[in-house]
Amino acid sequence: MNKLENIMNKISKVPNTFGVYLWKKNDEIIYVGKAKKLKNRLMQYFNGHNNSWLTPKMISNITDFDYFLAKNENDAFIKEQKLIKEHNPRFNIKLVNKKTYPYINFSISKKEIKIQIGDKDNNSFYSFGPLPPNTYFSDFVDVLKDVYLYDKGEKVNFKSKEEMEEVLKSITDIFNLKYSVFKSLVTEKEQEYSGKLQFEIANKYYKTLKFLEKIKEKQISEISNEHSIDFFDFQKVKSKIFISMYSYNYGSLIYQEYEDKNWEGLISEFIENYLSNFYAKNKIPNQIILRKELEDWNIELDELISKRVRFIKKGILYQISDLLLLNNKESINKYLVKHPNFLKDNDLVWEKLKNNLSLNSIDKIFIFDNSFQNHNVNVIGSVLAFDSNGQIKKMTKTYDLTNYVKDIEKKSDVQFTYYNAVSFLDDLGTRINENDIFFADGSIAQINEIKEALHNFGFTNKVFGLVKDSKHKTEKIINDKNIIIDVDTDIFNFLSKIQSQVDVNAKFKYNRTKNKEMRSSEILKIKGIGEKRFKTILAHYKTIENLKKSNYSELEKEFGKHISDLFKEAKFFDKK
């Protein structure tokens, strides 16, 4: 029985209920997911359905799985999050929706109407949004308050809840484009304030008219009676999913979004996670429209979201959904033009690399570099990780090596390489397997340091070196016998690129650490001592500790009386 048959046989015995599953490669957990119907979800990975559009790398990595049953959907969610946090699987990508789209929320509190711009408010009487950017909505809200909540500068005291609801009904009619009376009043006010040369106030009314024009210009009359409808389209290309979204209020397109996310799992799982994250921060509309073919993908959504979802195959909603699909495909084309190498076969490069290095197999690549300056005590180690799909963000690490090397009298990049490798192996050694290979940004000395660190952790993985020329460019690739390896152009360019990436990452982290130290330094707190003078003084003394061992006379001798007087005023050396 082969690997796939073993997995399928095991899946056949899994209960079809709430649960969490863990895909494994040997002993490494590479992906964690949850499901309402566990057996069905596991089968989707191997049934050849469109929903199984995974990169070959992910499927080929699966050698086994474990699972846990759950009492309900919430229990499965909690277990899933706990396992992801515990194992940090390489194919789990957290879809954090960092965007918060503003809404205009209308609510009634005692005898007062509140009109506020902010996050979604599920308890409000009415909400309009998400609001499109650059459409003068703050001016529009100010004018709404002036017209409906104030009378001749005095706040209106409403006599009853019914009266307030009647006012809010008049306001919501504006969003339904029944605003002829409101528009006439705003136009009249804009002209009145312009005539009085009160142009700032007049401009608010002018912008309100522009806001009304904006929400009307994209109105579709056939859905003008619908309070809120969101449309989504999802397209998968290799390990990336492209998302497009339209949001309509009373037939007016008020918001649209195009974005892309990296994703290795089932597209149905992506949709579940994406919509859950999106509506955690945005108001759930009356309808959520998805393409009809997605109905067969067993998408498991929260009940509050699920009951609003419709899978459309005809009518005006289908036409809008189809237009969204076309625009999403256009955004994919634009991405491919901007990233011409995206569709190139990474597996082909991986195969070439394996052959060039005379290896039977390569799973992951780790490359090490350090950043430091001779006059500064800080040392930063950087490690970048790659597989055939690209950079593995969760295994890309930066380490502050300063405490490791502070007692070394003659510090050098060679010694730093050892401690960088030790830090990485101590951190992620459980994720290393025999087919992983290591690269040093350096020559045979750096190779030997990584080999020693590997040996100390019980590993015998292959280590290679990327040697730079006098212009700091990749010159050659060597093995652990200091023999130059002949590689073809594609592989040389690939290795040169990742060497440049780890170098940039190390320098970036180092500079950030150094700048943070400089900003927090007590020297910079001395009035008259800026960063430029600080750097000059530090270049002379090498370390802060050396400077503290000096005195005002020596400081005056090296940098002049003015600098010495600044230190005297701060009583810098008096604190010894």
Q: Can you tell me the distance from the alpha carbon of 409 to that of 347, in angstroms, rounded to the nearest whole number?
A: 46
Q: Beta strand pairing status for 309-312 and 64-69?
A: unpaired
Q: Can you tell me the distance from the alpha carbon of 361 to that of 25, in angstroms, rounded to the nearest whole number?
A: 15
pLDDT at 378 over 80: no
Q: Are residues 16 and 145 in the same domain?
A: no
- Residues in the chain, overall count: 576
Domain count, the chain: 5
Q: Are residues 117 and 155 in the same domain?
A: yes
* Single-letter residue type at 385: A
Q: Are residues 500 and 543 in the same domain?
A: no
pLDDT at 5 over 50: yes
**Helix, strand, or coil (residue 469):** coil
**Helix, strand, or coil (residue 74):** helix
Q: Are residues 89 and 111 in the same domain?
A: no
Neighbours of 568 (CB within 10 A): 15
Question: Is 343 within a domain?
Answer: no
Q: What does the DSSP 8-state code read for residue 481?
A: T
Better-predicted residue by pLDDT, 51 or 311:
311
The most confident of 33-42, 171-180, 217-226, 517-526, by mean pLDDT: 33-42
> Bridge-partner residues for 23, per DSSP?
31, 65
For the stretch 216-258, pLDDT in tens is: 666 676 777 777 899 999 988 777 889 999 988 878 787 888 8
Question: Is 414 within a domain?
Answer: yes
| CA dihedral (396, 400, 404, 405) positive or negative | positive
pLDDT of the residue at 66: 92
Which has the closest alpha carbon to 228: 130, 134, 143?
130
- Average per-residue pLDDT in the chain? 81
- Position 51 confidence tier, pLDDT thresholds 50, 70, 90: very low
Question: Final residue of a domain: which of 304, 338, 372?
Answer: 338
The most confident of 20-34, 84-98, 400-414, by mean pLDDT: 20-34
Q: Can you tell me the distance from the alpha carbon of 38 to that of 570, in angstroms, rounded to the nearest whole number?
A: 68
Q: What is the average pLDDT across 483-505?
A: 88
Q: Which of these ranges, 29-38, 503-512, 553-562, has the smallest mean pLDDT?
A: 503-512
Which has the closest alpha carbon to 89: 430, 400, 474, 412?
430
Q: Are residues 133 and 188 in the same domain?
A: yes
Q: Which of these ranges, 210-219, 227-236, 364-373, has the smallest mean pLDDT?
A: 210-219
- CB 252, CB 245: distance < 8 Å: no
Six token digits for residue 397: 């690490």
* Single-letter residue type at 442: G
Q: Where are the beta strands (DSSP E) in 331-378?
A: 365-372
Q: Where are the beta strands (DSSP E) in 99-167?
A: 103-109, 112-118, 126-128, 150-151, 154-155
409 burial class (0-12, 13-18, 19+ CB within 10 angstroms)?
A: exposed
Q: What does the DSSP 8-state code read for residue 156?
A: P
Question: Is 123 within a domain?
Answer: yes
Q: Can you tell me the distance from the alpha carbon of 202 to that of 481, in angstroms, rounded to the nearest whole number?
A: 79
How many helices (H) and strands (E) the chain has is answered by 20, 20
Six token digits for residue 131: 């609001």
- Position 408 confidence tier, pLDDT thresholds 50, 70, 90: low
Q: Are residues 269 and 358 in the same domain?
A: no
Which has the closest alpha carbon to 498: 420, 398, 388, 384?
384
Q: Can you tell me the distance from the alpha carbon of 30 to that of 34, in angstroms, rounded to the nearest whole number?
A: 14
Q: Are residues 370 and 490 in the same domain?
A: yes
**Helix, strand, or coil (residue 70):** coil
Q: Are residues 357 and 323 in the same domain?
A: no
Q: Are residues 291 and 379 in the same domain?
A: no
- CB 209, CB 187: distance < 8 Å: yes
Question: Is 59 within a domain?
Answer: yes
Six token digits for residue 361: 């197999």
Question: Is 67 within a domain?
Answer: yes
Q: Are residues 83 and 206 in the same domain?
A: no
Q: Are residues 71 and 18 in the same domain?
A: yes
pLDDT of the residue at 522: 64
pLDDT at 174 over 60: yes
- State the residue range of the domain holding 366: 349-513
Question: Final residue of a domain: which of 62, 94, 126?
Answer: 94
pLDDT of the residue at 128: 75
pLDDT at 190 over 50: yes
pLDDT at 341 over 80: no
pLDDT of the residue at 536: 80
Q: Are residues 385 and 504 in the same domain?
A: yes
Question: Is 532 within a domain?
Answer: yes
Express as a percent the part of the chain with pLDDT over 70. 86
Q: Which of these ranges, 45-54, 79-88, 177-186, 420-429, has the smallest mean pLDDT?
A: 45-54
Question: Is 224 within a domain?
Answer: no
Question: Final residue of a domain: which of 166, 190, 218?
Answer: 218
Q: What is the average pLDDT across 509-519?
A: 59
- Position 54 confidence tier, pLDDT thresholds 50, 70, 90: very low
pLDDT at 52 over 60: no
Question: Is 223 within a domain?
Answer: no
Q: Can you tell me the distance from the alpha carbon of 220 to that of 518, in angstroms, rounded to the nearest whole number?
A: 58
pLDDT at 56 over 70: no
Burial 446-455, CB ≥16 within 10 A → b, else e: bbbbbbebbe
Q: Can you tell me the distance from the alpha carbon of 36 to that of 73, in angstroms, rounded to the nearest whole number?
A: 7
Q: Beta strand pairing status for 309-312 and 287-291?
A: parallel
Neighbours of 7 (CB within 10 A): 18
Q: What is the average pLDDT across 141-165?
A: 81
The vertex-63 CA angle with 58 and 69, nearest 5°, equals 95
Which has the closest alpha carbon to 167: 188, 182, 152?
182
Q: What are the φ/ψ torsions at residue 110 (nearest 5 degrees)?
A: 55, -115
Q: Can you tell me the distance from the alpha carbon of 115 to that of 99, in angstroms, rounded to the nearest whole number?
A: 22
For the stretch 281-328, pLDDT in tens is: 788 889 999 988 888 787 888 888 999 999 988 888 888 888 888 888
Domain CATH code at residue 449? 3.30.420.340
Q: What share of the chain is helix, strand, coil (3-state, %, to 5)?
A: 50, 20, 30
Domain CATH code at residue 60? 3.40.1440.10
pLDDT at 467 over 90: yes
Better-predicted residue by pLDDT, 287 or 187:
287
